[in-house]
Amino acid sequence: MDDHDLANMREFKSFVKYHGEEYGLPSMKVIRSVMKISSGIIRLTFDGIFQDRERLKNIDKETGEIK
């Protein structure tokens, strides 16, 4: 998730659909059953990526200053 900047399940589902085979990912049904067990860490990962995106929105791309 982090390596591909995936910030939510919708993006992850799309990634699995288009790139799952090349990464050896099983179907979303199997992935969801595994994710239920690790939901806390997955939620934290998605949240961190989302927060990074939000912070980048507030940075002036020319000066690097926080708006």
- The 10s digit of each residue's pLDDT in 9-47 is 888 889 999 999 999 998 888 888 888 887 788 888 888
22 exposed, middle or buried (CB, 10 Å; 0-12, 13-18, 19+)? exposed
pLDDT of the residue at 1: 57
**Residue 48 belongs to some domain of the structure:** yes
**Residue 52 belongs to some domain of the structure:** yes
**Residue 2 belongs to some domain of the structure:** no
Range of the domain at 37: 9-57
**Residue 13 belongs to some domain of the structure:** yes
**Residue 63 belongs to some domain of the structure:** no
**Residue 49 belongs to some domain of the structure:** yes
Comparing 10 with 2, the larger pLDDT belongs to 10
**Residue 65 belongs to some domain of the structure:** no
Please tell me the total count of domains within the chain: 1
Amino acid at 23: Y
Q: What whole-number distance in Å separates Cα of residue 11 and Cα of residue 9? A: 5
35 exposed, middle or buried (CB, 10 Å; 0-12, 13-18, 19+)? middle
Claim: this prediction has a pTM higher than 0.85: no
